Structure 1
Amino acid sequence: MILAEVILENAFVRLEPFVPSLEDEVRTALDCDPVAWEGMVAAACGSQFDGWWAAAMVAKAGGSRIPWAVRRRADGAVVGTTSLYEIRPEHRRCEIGSTFYRPEARGGPVNPACKRLLLTHAFDAGAVRVEILTDARNLPSQAAIRKLGARDEGTLAKHKITWTGRVRDTAQFAILEEDWPAVRQALDARLARFDGTTAV
């Protein structure tokens, strides 16, 4: 499994791998909704951004993470970020995470469009398993992950410590290679409702 650091795009979003020239746009996109950041292991809001950006670039250079800026095609605005990380080629698995969208970008095509691109990228590269983890207290996030058709693998107790110092339980989900055709079909059907065509 070799995951390339490339631009991914469809009718709704363009995912651009982090480069220094994107830093200010990403900073602006993420500097909002501090309550939403409270469940994250690392925050990128306000004064937390510089450390978060630096850590993302180090992980990218080391090959364990590919962070993308999420650019909305409708208006060209960067509205969030997402990553493939915990990349383990020897086990042919990775995780989708470090995902944050501005409030106005939630609930529409942005999230399913991003997941369609990231899952395609991972499974086309030979992944057999893609994980999605979230704070066990974040019920809306869990509902969105279940809507994808991911397997609910239960709760990992005291799994991570957030940037605020809270010991967090983590809800773990996964999509396996045999699940991907049905998940892909469902994502395409969801995206088709936004513009009347299948967006791939």
Structure 2
Amino acid sequence: MPVTPLSQSDETFIGTSLIRDAGDAQRTSSTVARLLDSQRVAAATARSLGAPWTPASVRAAVDVKTVDETNMIEVTARADEPGQAVRVAETFAQTALKDRWQTVSAELDRRIAFAQKNTDADPNAGEESRRLQLLTFVRQSGVDPTLSIDSTGPAVRVDEVPAAVIMVMAGAGGMFLGVLAAYGIERHRRRPRDEDVAAPARELPVHPSETLSRKP
């Protein structure tokens, strides 16, 4: 999605949400990406996709980010099937543009009414008349001139770790924990307790019995 911002000095579209140059391509596109990645757009996308999609699952599946240091925004989506991923990404991008246009069009209507009033008051106001023409043209076009969908890339299948490998890893991990626990228990069992420790008793020497005889 290329971003074509208005110049910072533009006065024709003052009071509208059309994208204005922030002075840095990365900063401009980053701001727009944050605006697009909203709960409202996710909710509208979920309604368009239908069950089982929800606003939460859409937000989890979709990633909106900038492309390097350019005025480009990339919308990607993950799904079980490649075709479904493309559908989710396209629906999200189209929904985001539609949501923005609802806001921008209402702002343009107010701006046009203001410019029309000034033009009627002074038919010789050439600059205001030019602005009115441009505002009317954009409003009738029905699209945001500062943001659009340029192209859709093909889906890319991401190889996942096979289920068998996951099971083996889980079993190995469980076995390791089991051995570790058994070792700890055995160490604890063999540890002498305080009451079981006593100083070894000194044995008294045993002498053979002596027979005393008394002479008569």
Name which one, 1 or 2, has greater alpha-carbon Rg: 2
TM-score of the aligned structures, taking structure 1 as reference length:
0.24
Normalised TM-score (structure 2): 0.23
Higher share of residues assigned helix? 2
